[in-house]
Amino acid sequence: MTGQSATDSAATSIGLDDAYAVDGPEDNRKLYASWAETYESVFLAENDYEYHLHVAAAFCGGENLRNGLDGPVLDVGCGTGVVGAELARLGVGVIDGIDISPEMLAKAAAKMHEGRATYRQLFEADLTGRLDLGSDAYAGIVSAGAFTHGHLGPESVIELLRVAQPGARCSLGINSAHFVEVGFGDWLLQRQSSGQISGLDFELHPIYGGADPDDPDRWTRIAVFTVA
């Protein structure tokens, strides 16, 4: 029998409009349950997705990595694991991941690097609440997706600061439109003024190859900083 099933056809038709229309954790779970199977092979491939490369490069370009990370890195909103795969390629040794979708986590669990699983541990987690992770547990925090669709505001970063060790390096990608609309920049600058973070820098990169420079939904501001 040839042709796609109704489920496969629906999954391949999911796109940016669906992602940006999500409203809350349950909408996210439903979206990614349908999308996990074709997310990389169709959506990322057809849209020349490069977000993960920029976030990983911003993280790995710092002194922290060159001098050796004293602990694991947490990939926030890890999805199918493309960020973790790039971090491993760049030399990050121990990576954990969290995501709201068990279907996406199952894809991440299958990622391998040099004969072993890319991720040490994977956890289902909702960033609108407290994470079931210990304080000061991570030497690095990265994200290339959690702050892209507009459903999470800067207050969600508070939990990431809690689980990060003092001196932890962070590289958080934030959709450019969302960055402006909800005041991510000002919020992070306030955290720096209060002494919670230091060395704050914002890098502008495309999320997709050939991105229209006038479409902020196709660009990311990557906030790079160190936890104080």
Angle CA(212)–CA(213)–CA(219) in degrees, nearest 5? 85
Tell me whether residue 1 is in a domain: no
Structure tokens at 179: 């960055």
User: 134 vs 61, which has greater pLDDT?
Assistant: 134
In a domain, 125, yes or no: yes
What is the per-residue pLDDT across 79-129, written as a single tens digit (0 to 9) for each?
999 999 999 999 999 999 999 999 999 999 999 999 999 999 999 999 999
Percent of the chain with pLDDT over 90: 71
H-helix segments, 134-183: 157-163, 176-181
Q: 38 and 25 in one domain? A: yes
Shared domain check, 73 and 14 = no
Q: Are residues 58 and 121 in the same domain?
A: yes
CA distance 41 to 184: 31
CA distance 117 to 102: 17
Alpha-carbon separation of residue 16 from 19, 63, 148, 211 (angstroms)? 5, 35, 11, 13
Question: What CA–CA distances, in Å, run from 96 to 37, 40, 118, 143, 192?
Answer: 21, 20, 9, 12, 26
* Angle 150-151-153 from CA coordinates, rounded to 5°: 80
Q: Measuring CA to CA, which residue among 205, 223, 211 is closest to residue 52?
A: 205
Shared domain check, 197 and 87: yes
Better-scored residue on pLDDT, 1 or 194: 194
210 falls within a domain: yes
pLDDT at 145 over 90: no
Q: Same structural domain for residues 156 and 136?
A: yes
Could you tell me the pTM of the whole model? Answer: 0.86
- Please tell me whether residues 14 and 74 are part of one structural domain: no
Give the pLDDT band of residue 40 (cuts 50, 70, 90): very high
CA dist., res. 67 & res. 60, Å (int): 11
**Same domain? 91 vs 18:** no
Which residues does residue 76 pair with via DSSP β-bridges, in sequence order?
Answer: 98, 143
In a domain, 203, yes or no: yes
* Whether pLDDT at 25 is above 90: no
pLDDT at site 8:
46
CA–CA distance, 147 with 153 (Å, rounded to integer): 7
Tokens of 57: 């490069």
Q: How confident is the model at residue 159 (pLDDT cuts 50, 70, 90)?
A: very high
- The CATH number assigned to the domain holding 152 equals 3.40.50.150
What total of structural domains would you count in the chain? Answer: 2
Both 69 and 127 in a single domain? yes
Residues 205 and 132 in one domain: yes
My answer on whether 32 and 80 are in the same domain is: no
Do both 122 and 22 map to the same domain? no
Contacts of 171 (CB under 8 A, 6+ apart): 55, 56, 58, 59, 140, 141, 142, 143, 222, 223, 224
Domain with 36, as residue range(s), is 6-44
For residues 203 and 159, state if they share a domain: yes
